[in-house]
Amino acid sequence: MARSLCPGAWLRKPYYLQCDKYKTGVIDGPACNSLCVTETLYFGKCLSTKPNNQMYLGIWGNLPGVVKCQMEQALHLDFGTELEPRKEIVLFDKPTRGTTVQKFKEMVYSLFKAKLGDQGNLSELVNLILTVADGDKDGQVSLGEAKSAWALLQLNEFLLMVILQDKEHTPKLMGFCGDLYVMESVEYTSLYGISLPWVIELFIPSGFRRSMDQLFTPSWPRKAKIAIGLLEFVEDVFHGPYGNFLMCDISAKNLGYNDKYDLKMVDMRKIVPETNLKELIKDRHCESDLDCVYGTDCRTTCDQSTMKCTSEVIQPNLAKACQLLKDYLLRGAPTEIREELEKQLYSCIALKVTANQMEMEHSLILNNLKTLLWKKISYTNDS
């Protein structure tokens, strides 16, 4: 059994489940043998705050990584839980024995159409998924590999990792076993340089926490480089090759960076396909706009005539990213650009999805911000 360096019975639960299924031939994947047989996949520091969404630092052989396994039950859109359907115990009941590769491709295509909308290039994405599912690279997808892939495709983070696998700011997928997956390690797992146990966080006033955060950040040129990375990631998910994704929890704890100060996403579970969110939110009963929020950042309005949430999210990803970056970048900003930087950040925060020519404004503001930051740091050692 894989070794955990974290105490606590609930932290060991996911891989007991995975290994039982692997040893009985139900699931398969490139991480299964290391997890369950050779015991070369180690679990280290616990990054989880809740037992139903498990995340650990780990080591696979000699490579550092992050191990994730979701254990949340959420069979419908509930703004206090996850958007992704998941039972307490995954049955891994699809696809069934006798399912052909062609039939499996049709299943995946239908799932993508429901999640991403009727994109013209979904067949390319289906073929990409089959390549990823072929964990042992033997040119064939076994039933166990297909069951693992199907379970993983229910998770938005996994789907996004596959779609953006060639993008700089998306952690690389290292392997999987069932719906447990291992992704590239990130040296710094928060935008700020200090992290505290969640129990302590509960007792720290938010204003004091923001002030404390600002004291534990990299130098300003390095912060600027990290900020540019976030702006580039916003570009990656804004009308990408398979539609638009909405960033519904843009917070410091979900963003990290490596030792070169390149931004890396740490947690993408609340980055969801726009089509998927619109479909699920549009008929939600509401009394006020406060009932029409998913995550912390995806907000629509409550139509008082129907008492239903509307489907159009009010604030674009870029505005939410700029809101997070405002204090981060303005503290310690060079005097000669501070006024212009503040002006651009506030213009960015004011962006609305419903504004005329929003896409043109979006591109203009994003490019202006990147240009301003790059010009200031391009001749420093931090660029």
Domain membership of residue 286 as a residue range: 198-378
d(CA 361, CA 346): 13
Given 146, 162, 184, which residue is the final one in a domain?
A: 184
Which residues are within 8 A (CB) of 321 and not within 5 positions of it... i.e. 6 or more apart? 230, 231, 234, 247, 250, 348
Mean pLDDT of 152-170: 93
pLDDT of 193 reads 62
Indicate whether 135 and 238 sit together in one domain. Answer: no
Indicate whether 180 and 202 sit together in one domain. Answer: no
- Per-position b or e across 178-213, b if 16+ CB within 10 A of its CB: bbbbbbbbbebbbbbeeeeeeeeeeeeeeeeeeeeb
pLDDT of 274 reads 93
Between 55-64, 74-83, 333-342, the lowest mean confidence (pLDDT) is in 74-83
Domain-embedded: residue 3: no
pTM: 0.86
Indicate whether 24 and 137 sit together in one domain. Answer: yes
Domain-embedded: residue 189: no
User: Has residue 145 got a pLDDT over 90?
Assistant: yes
Neighbouring-strand partners of residue 53: 50, 70
Give residue 378's pLDDT band: very low, low, confident or very high (50, 70, 90). Answer: confident
The distance of Cα 155 from the centroid of its chain, to the nearest Å, equals 10
Domain-embedded: residue 192: no
Indicate whether 222 and 347 sit together in one domain. Answer: yes
Domain-embedded: residue 362: yes
Indicate whether 178 and 232 sit together in one domain. Answer: no
SS3 state at 112: helix
pLDDT of 80 reads 44
Surface-to-core class of residue 324, CB atoms within 10 Å of its CB (0-12 exposed, 13-18 middle, 19+ buried):
buried
Indicate whether 262 and 348 sit together in one domain. Answer: yes
Query: Domain tally for the chain?
Result: 2
Indicate whether 249 and 217 sit together in one domain. Answer: yes
Given 147, 162, 184, which residue is the final one in a domain?
A: 184
Indicate whether 28 and 141 sit together in one domain. Answer: yes
Indicate whether 233 and 119 sit together in one domain. Answer: no
Indicate whether 240 and 305 sit together in one domain. Answer: yes
Q: Which of 276, 280, 358, 356 is nearest to 317 (CA)?
A: 358
Indicate whether 26 and 171 sit together in one domain. Answer: yes
Would residue 380 be called left, alpha or beta, if left means φ above 0 and alpha means ψ between -120 and 50 degrees? beta
Q: Which of 342, 186, 173, 327 is nearest to 261 (CA)?
A: 186
pLDDT of 209 reads 61
The mean pLDDT of the chain is 85
Indicate whether 239 and 274 sit together in one domain. Answer: yes
CATH number at residue 317: 1.10.510
